[in-house]
Amino acid sequence: MCRWLAYSGSPLLLDTILYKPAHSLIDQSLHSRLGVETTNGDGFGVGWYTPDAEDGTPAVVRDVGPAWNNRNLREIAGHVSSPLFFAHIRASTGTAVQQTNSHPFRHGRWMWMHNGAIAGFPVIRRDLCLAVDPTLFTSIEGSTDSEVMFYLALTFGLRDDPPQAVARMAGFVERTAREHGVAHPLQMTVATTDGAAVWAFRYASEGTARSLFYSSRIQALQALHPDVAFLRDLSEETRLVVSEPLGELPGAWNEVPEHSYGVVRHGADELHPFAPVP
Amino acid sequence: MCRWLAYSGSPLLLDTILYKPAHSLIDQSLHSRLGVETTNGDGFGVGWYTPDAEDGTPAVVRDVGPAWNNRNLREIAGHVSSPLFFAHIRASTGTAVQQTNSHPFRHGRWMWMHNGAIAGFPVIRRDLCLAVDPTLFTSIEGSTDSEVMFYLALTFGLRDDPPQAVARMAGFVERTAREHGVAHPLQMTVATTDGAAVWAFRYASEGTARSLFYSSRIQALQALHPDVAFLRDLSEETRLVVSEPLGELPGAWNEVPEHSYGVVRHGADELHPFAPVP
Amino acid sequence: MCRWLAYSGSPLLLDTILYKPAHSLIDQSLHSRLGVETTNGDGFGVGWYTPDAEDGTPAVVRDVGPAWNNRNLREIAGHVSSPLFFAHIRASTGTAVQQTNSHPFRHGRWMWMHNGAIAGFPVIRRDLCLAVDPTLFTSIEGSTDSEVMFYLALTFGLRDDPPQAVARMAGFVERTAREHGVAHPLQMTVATTDGAAVWAFRYASEGTARSLFYSSRIQALQALHPDVAFLRDLSEETRLVVSEPLGELPGAWNEVPEHSYGVVRHGADELHPFAPVP
Amino acid sequence: MCRWLAYSGSPLLLDTILYKPAHSLIDQSLHSRLGVETTNGDGFGVGWYTPDAEDGTPAVVRDVGPAWNNRNLREIAGHVSSPLFFAHIRASTGTAVQQTNSHPFRHGRWMWMHNGAIAGFPVIRRDLCLAVDPTLFTSIEGSTDSEVMFYLALTFGLRDDPPQAVARMAGFVERTAREHGVAHPLQMTVATTDGAAVWAFRYASEGTARSLFYSSRIQALQALHPDVAFLRDLSEETRLVVSEPLGELPGAWNEVPEHSYGVVRHGADELHPFAPVP
Residue pLDDT, tens place only, A165-207: 999 999 999 999 999 999 999 999 999 999 999 999 999 999 9
Would you say residue A1 has pLDDT above 70? no
Instruction: Single out the residue of B219, B181, B215, B185 nearest to residue B203, CA to CA.
Output: B185
Name chain B contacts of C53, Cβ cutoff 8 Å.
Answer: 13, 78-79
* Contact between chains at B65 and D69 (C-beta distance less than 8 A): no
Tell me how far apart the alpha carbons of residues D28 and D18 are, in angstroms, rounded to a whole number.
10
In angstroms, the separation between the Cα of residue D100 and the nearest Cα of chain C is 8
Determine which helix (DSSP H) or strand (DSSP E) holds B115, and give its type and residue range: strand B110-118
In angstroms, the separation between the Cα of residue C274 and the nearest Cα of chain B is 34
D→A contacts (Cβ < 8 Å), by residue, are: 13, 48, 50, 52-54, 57-63, 71-72, 75-76, 78-81, 99
Burial of residue A227 (CB within 10 Å: 0-12, 13-18, 19+) is exposed
Of C95, C96, C137, which has the smallest distance from its Cβ to D126's Cβ?
C137
What pLDDT is recorded for position C1? 66
- Those chains having 3 or more beta-carbon pairs within 8 angstroms of chain D are A, B, C
In angstroms, the separation between the Cα of residue C120 and the nearest Cα of chain D is 11
Tell me how far apart the alpha carbons of residues B174 and B187 are, in angstroms, rounded to a whole number.
11
* Contact between chains at B79 and C13 (C-beta distance less than 8 A): no
- Those chains having 3 or more beta-carbon pairs within 8 angstroms of chain A are B, C, D
| Residue bearing the bigger pLDDT, D30 or A5 | A5
Query: What phi and psi values does residue D51 have, to the nearest 5 degrees?
Result: -65, -15
* Contact between chains at A129 and B134 (C-beta distance less than 8 A): no
Would you say residue A154 has pLDDT above 90? yes
What pLDDT is recorded for position B154? 98
Residue pLDDT, tens place only, D97-123: 999 999 999 999 999 999 999 999 999
| ipTM score assigned to the predicted complex | 0.95
Within 13 Å of residue D249, how many CA atoms lie on the same side as its CB? 25
Q: How many CB atoms lie within 10 A of CB D17?
A: 22
Residues of chain C with pLDDT under 70: 1
Split at pLDDT 50, 70, 90, the class of B93 is: confident
* Contact between chains at B48 and C79 (C-beta distance less than 8 A): yes
- For the sheet with D239-242, list strands across it: D59-63, D44-48, D81-90, D2-13, D239-242, D213-215, D253-255
Q: Which residue of C has its CA nearest to D123?
A: C138
Query: Among A28-42, A125-139, B114-128, where is mean pLDDT lowest?
Result: A28-42
Q: Which residues are within 8 A (CB) of B201 and not within 5 positions of it... i.e. 6 or more apart?
A: B163, B166, B188, B189, B190, B191, B260, B261, B274
Domains and CATH numbers, chain B: 2-273 (3.60.20.10)
Q: Are D140 and D133 in contact (CB under 8 A)?
A: no
Query: Among B2-6, B53-57, B240-244, where is mean pLDDT lowest?
Result: B53-57
Residue pLDDT, tens place only, B239-252: 999 999 998 888 89
Q: Are C136 and C155 in contact (CB under 8 A)?
A: yes
What pLDDT is recorded for position D1? 66
Name chain D contacts of C122, Cβ cutoff 8 Å.
Answer: 138
* Contact between chains at D96 and C126 (C-beta distance less than 8 A): no
In angstroms, the separation between the Cα of residue B273 and the nearest Cα of chain A is 34
Of C30, C41, C65, which has the smallest distance from its Cβ to A64's Cβ?
C65
Return the percentage of chain A with pLDDT > 70, whole number: 100
Instruction: State the average pLDDT over residues A24-37.
Output: 86
Would you say residue A36 has pLDDT above 80? no
Would you say residue D232 has pLDDT above 90? no
| Residue bearing the bigger pLDDT, A234 or A37 | A234
pTM: 0.96
Q: Which residue of C has its CA nearest to D143?
A: C141
In angstroms, the separation between the Cα of residue B76 and the nearest Cα of chain C is 7
Name chain B contacts of C99, Cβ cutoff 8 Å.
Answer: 71
In angstroms, the separation between the Cα of residue C260 and the nearest Cα of chain A is 33
What pLDDT is recorded for position A210? 94
Residue pLDDT, tens place only, B58-70: 999 999 999 999 9
CA D40 to chain centre: 14
Would you say residue B1 has pLDDT above 70? no
Determine which helix (DSSP H) or strand (DSSP E) holds C271, and give its type and residue range: strand C270-273
Tell me how far apart the alpha carbons of residues C156 and C158 are, in angstroms, rounded to a whole number.
6
Tell me how far apart the alpha carbons of residues C182 and C200 are, in angstroms, rounded to a whole number.
25
What pLDDT is recorded for position D172? 98
- Those chains having 3 or more beta-carbon pairs within 8 angstroms of chain B are A, C, D
Q: Are C21 and C28 in contact (CB under 8 A)?
A: no
* Contact between chains at D71 and A99 (C-beta distance less than 8 A): yes
**SS3 for A96?**
coil
Tell me how far apart the alpha carbons of residues A212 and A143 are, in angstroms, rounded to a whole number.
25
- Those chains having 3 or more beta-carbon pairs within 8 angstroms of chain C are A, B, D
Count of B-C CB contacts under 8 Å = 57
Q: Are B95 and B101 in contact (CB under 8 A)?
A: yes
Burial of residue A122 (CB within 10 Å: 0-12, 13-18, 19+) is middle
Would you say residue D49 has pLDDT above 90? yes
Instruction: State the average pLDDT over residues B138-145.
Output: 96
Dmax of chain C from CA atoms?
56
What pLDDT is recorded for position D52? 83
Query: Which residue type is seen at A44?
Result: F
Name chain B contacts of A99, Cβ cutoff 8 Å.
Answer: 96, 98
In angstroms, the separation between the Cα of residue A107 and the nearest Cα of chain D is 14
Instruction: Single out the residue of A121, A90, A85, A102 nearest to residue A238, CA to CA.
Output: A85
Beta bridge partners of A63: A44
Q: How many CB atoms lie within 10 A of CB B250?
A: 8
Residue pLDDT, tens place only, A38-92: 899 999 999 999 988 878 999 999 999 999 999 999 999 999 999 999 999 999 9
**DSSP strand pairing (C110-118 vs C186-193):** antiparallel
Query: Among A124-133, C20-29, D11-20, D195-204, where is mean pLDDT lowest?
Result: C20-29
What pLDDT is recorded for position D233? 83
